[in-house]
Chains A and B, each alone.
Chain A
Amino acid sequence: MKKVIEGSHAVAEAVRLCAPKVIAAYPITPQTHIVERLSKMVADGQLDSEFLCVESEHSAMSACIGAQATGVRTYTATASQGLMLMHEMLHVASGMRLPIVINVANRSVSSPLSIWNDWLDAMAVRNSGWVQLFVESSQEALDTTIQAYKIAETIHLPVMVCIDGFYLSHTYEPVDIPDTVAGYLGDYKPKVVLDPKNPITQGMMAGPKAFQEFKEQQHRALLSAKDVIKNENREFNKKFGRIYGDGLVETYNMESADYAIISMGSVCGTIKHILDEKKISDIGLIRIKTYRPFPNKEIIDLTKNLKALGVLEKDISFGIGGALWADVKTFVDKPVSNFIGGLGGRDIQIEDIVKIFGTIRKEEENIHWVGSQLKK
C-alpha cells in the first residue's frame, strides 16, 4: 500500500513487519518518531512486542543483547550521543555474534551541541564490527530495515541502518508499505540460546591464546556479508520489485563519465538531481550503500577508467580527513579530492555541488571544507 508518510514512520512500519519480540529504546532527537510510533503499535495491539522504556541507550543495547541471546528478535533505534553512550555494547553485540538490528537517525555529536544531521555518530562506531548501511530515501529506509534482519540472521552479526536525521527521519515521502514480509523473512530460529535444557556460557573471557581468532572470525563474517547483501538485494527485488544498485553501491550517470563523485545517504538525491538538471555527462555518482563491509572491489572496478574522483561526506576523522575519503584512498591510486560539508545540519546546496564538480575536474587532491567561513 502506497502512503505519504514520514521517514521515521516508514522505518516503524518495517519493524512492525519484521515483528521483533523485544524492543528497548531511549528517546533522542531525531530518532524519537520511530520509537514513539512503535510504542503506539504495541499499545494498539498491532505489534506483539515487549517495549522496554529503558533508562539509557547503554541499557537499550544491553537489554537487546540479553533478549537476543535468550532467543528472540530484537530492535532498537538511536542517534548521536545515544550511539556514543551505546558504543561499548555495540562491540559486545558483534563479538557475541548477535543479529540485532538498529536504526540510527544520523545526527552530529557534541560539543558544540547540535541536534542536526551529519554522520559523526555512525563514523565514530565504524570499528565496532557491525554491518553499516546508509540509505537515500524513506522507501529505501523501509526496504533496507527489512533486509537488515535477513542479513543479520544469515551472517550472525548485527546490522545498523543509517538514515539521515531530519532529511529522512522527519520528511514526508510516498512510501510503498508491503502487506507482509512472510515468504521473505521467516521466523527467527537461532541455533544457540540461553536454555536450561542445554546450558551454555555466553560472553566468556578469552586469553591471549584464544582472543585473536575470535576477532579474525568476526572480520571474516563481516566480509562474507558482501555476498549476502547482494543476494538479499536481488531476493528483495524478486519479492517486492525494488532494487538498490547491487546492494553495496549504486551508480548514476556513469555511462560516459571521466570523473565520479562518491557519497552516501540523502545528499545523493541532490547530486542526482543536479546531474539530470544540468545535463552533465562527464561526471557520475557512486553512492555507497554498504559502508561496512567496505565495497573495495566495486570501487576499484568502477573507477579504473576515471581520471579523478571526489568524495563528499558529512564527517571528519580528525587529524586525517574524511573517513570515507581515507577508505577510498586505500584502494584507488588516482587523484581523490575530499569535500567535507553538511556538518551540524548545514545544507549542502546546489551551488556547493556545482562548485565541487568544478574542483573534481581539476584532477587535484586536497581536502576542502564546503562553504567554509574561515580564513585559509
Chain B
Amino acid sequence: MKKLLSFGTRSCAGCPASLAVRRILEAVGDNVIIVNGTSCLEVTTTQYPLSSWNVPYIHTAFECTGAVASGVESALKKMGKDTHVVAIAGDGGTFDIGLQSLSGMIDRGHNVLYICYDNECYANTGLQRSSATPYGAATTTSPPGKFSIGNKTFKKPIVQMLAAQKVPYVATASLAYPDDLERKVKKALTIKGPKFIHILAPCPISWRFDSSETIHVARLAVETGMWILCEIENGKIKINVTPSERKPVKDYLSLQGRFKHLKDEDIKKIQEKVDDDWKAYKKY
C-alpha cells in the first residue's frame, strides 16, 4: 500500500511527529487536505524539490494554521467537495502564536480536525520555552540557574480552554496508545464542525532521552498521570485510561535530561499538581 507519508523523512531518530502523522493518516485515508503550520513536521517533510506527502498538503506560516484551514474548508464547501480537512501544528503554533487563529476557526464552526502535536517546546528553533512547557523543565530560554528553577509556569490548560469554547469534540492522545489515537481520529471525522486532538509528542532531542525510548516515555506520561488520556464530547468528559495505581511522577521525570536539575521538593510540587489535576478531572 502506498504510504500517505513516505518513509525517509528528514526527521531525527525517534521523532514522535512522523510516527503520529503516519498513524493519523492511516485513520483518515487519502480523501484529505493537510494544512500544516510551520514546525519540525513541515521542515522535515517538504524540502524542495522533495515532498514526503502523498496527500495534498499546504504550509504557509506559523500562526495561521486555523485560518488557512478555514479557507480550505470554505472553498471545498463552495465547490461541493466532501474532503476532510486536517490541520496539524505544534504546541508553539497552537498554544502561543496560533491560538487566536485556532480560536477564530472554532468560533466560526469550520468543519476541520485540528491536531496539535505537543513536544512541549519550540523544538524546530532549538528547544525554547513555549506555554506548553511543563513546570521545572529546562529549555534554552528557561534555563535553570542560581535564580531560576527552569520553566516557572505550569502547562497552559489548552484542552479545558477549548472545551470551554464548546468545541464539539476535544481529545488527548498518546503515541503509546496508537489504537486509541486511531479510534479518536476516526470518531472526530464523523462529527461535523471543529474538532481538536492533542497528542503528547516526546522529543528525544529536546527532552533529552535516548531516541529508542520515545514510546516508553509517552507511556510513562500516561502511567504517572502526567498525561491524562481523555475525550470531551459536547462538554461530557470521558477518561480513557485510569491507571489502577499511578506511578510516581519521578519515574517519568528522571528519564529526561530536561528535569535532571530538579530537587526532591520540586518533584514533590509537580506530584501535587498531578494529584490535584486528577481530582479536578474526576470532578469535571
* A residues with CB within 8 A of B: 21-22, 24, 48-50, 52-56, 58-60, 62-72, 74, 88-89, 92, 96, 194-196, 198-207, 210
Contact = CB atoms under 8 A, between A and B. Distances in A.
Contact of A196 (B30, B60, B103): B30
A53 B108 contact: yes
Interface string B134-173: 0000000000000000000000000000000000000000
Given A50-B78, A65-B60, A194 B72 contact: yes
7 contacts: A21-B78, A62-B61, A63-B74, A69-B58, A88-B61, A201-B46, A202-B57
Given A207-B48, A210-B49, A54 B74 contact: no
Given A92-B61, A204-B46, A205-B42, A70 B30 contact: no
B57 A52 contact: no
B208 interface: no
B18 interface: no
B79 A71 contact: yes
Contacts of B104: 54-56, 59
Contact of B56 (A55, A72, A196, A205): A196
Contacts of A206: 47-48
Contact of A203 (B54, B58, B103): B58
Contact of B75 (A21, A196, A205): A21
Contacts of A200: 56-57
B176 interface: no
Interface string B6-42: 0000000000000000000000001111010000001
A89 B79 contact: no
A64 B195 CA distance: 22
A369 to B, nearest CB: 37
> Size band of the B side of the interface?
35 or more
B68 A58 contact: no
Contacts of A66: 35, 58, 60, 67-75
Contacts of B43: 205
Contacts of A88: 61
Contacts of A54: 67, 70, 104, 108
Contacts of A69: 58, 71-72
Contacts of A207: 47-48
B64 interface: yes
Contacts of B71: 22, 24, 52, 62-70, 74
B75 A67 contact: yes
A210 B49 CA distance: 8
Interface centre among B46, B53, B57, B72 (most CB of A within 10 A): B72
B234 to A, nearest CB: 24
Nearest to B101: A59
Contacts of A196: 30-33, 55-56, 83
B211 interface: no
A233 B66 CA distance: 38
Given A56-B100, A58-B63, A204-B59, A70 B47 contact: no
Nearest to A66: B71
B4 to A, nearest CB: 9
B76 interface: yes
Given A62-B68, A72-B78, A52 B108 contact: yes
B78 A55 contact: no
Given A52-B74, A63-B71, A204 B51 contact: yes
Contacts of A202: 56-59
Rank and list the top 9 A-B pairs by shortest CB-CB distance, nearest first. Answer: A66-B71, A59-B67, A55-B104, A63-B71, A62-B67, A62-B64, A70-B75, A67-B71, A201-B51
A21 to B, nearest CB: 4
B74 A205 contact: no
Contacts of A70: 33, 71-72, 75-76, 79
A71 B81 CA distance: 11
Contacts of B31: 196
Contacts of A50: 74-75, 77-78
B107 interface: yes
B30 A22 contact: no
Contacts of B66: 59
B98 to A, nearest CB: 10
Given A63-B68, A66-B70, A205-B48, A89 B60 contact: yes
Contacts of B108: 52-54
Contact of B64 (A72, A89, A199): A89
A49 B75 CA distance: 9
B17 to A, nearest CB: 15
A60 B72 CA distance: 13
B55 to A, nearest CB: 5
Nearest to A88: B61
Interface centre among B30, B42, B55, B75 (most CB of A within 10 A): B75
Nearest to B63: A58
Interface centre among B56, B79, B101 (most CB of A within 10 A): B56
Interface in B71-111: 71-79, 83, 100-101, 103-104, 107-108
Contacts of A67: 71-72, 74-75
A207 B57 CA distance: 19
Given A67-B72, A71-B79, 5 more contacts: A50-B77, A62-B60, A66-B75, A88-B61, A200-B56
A21 B30 CA distance: 25
Given A66-B35, A199-B54, A205-B46, A72 B61 contact: no
Given A55-B100, A56-B100, A92 B60 contact: yes
A196 B79 CA distance: 14
Contacts of B30: 196, 199
Contacts of B32: 196
A113 to B, nearest CB: 22
A21 B80 CA distance: 12
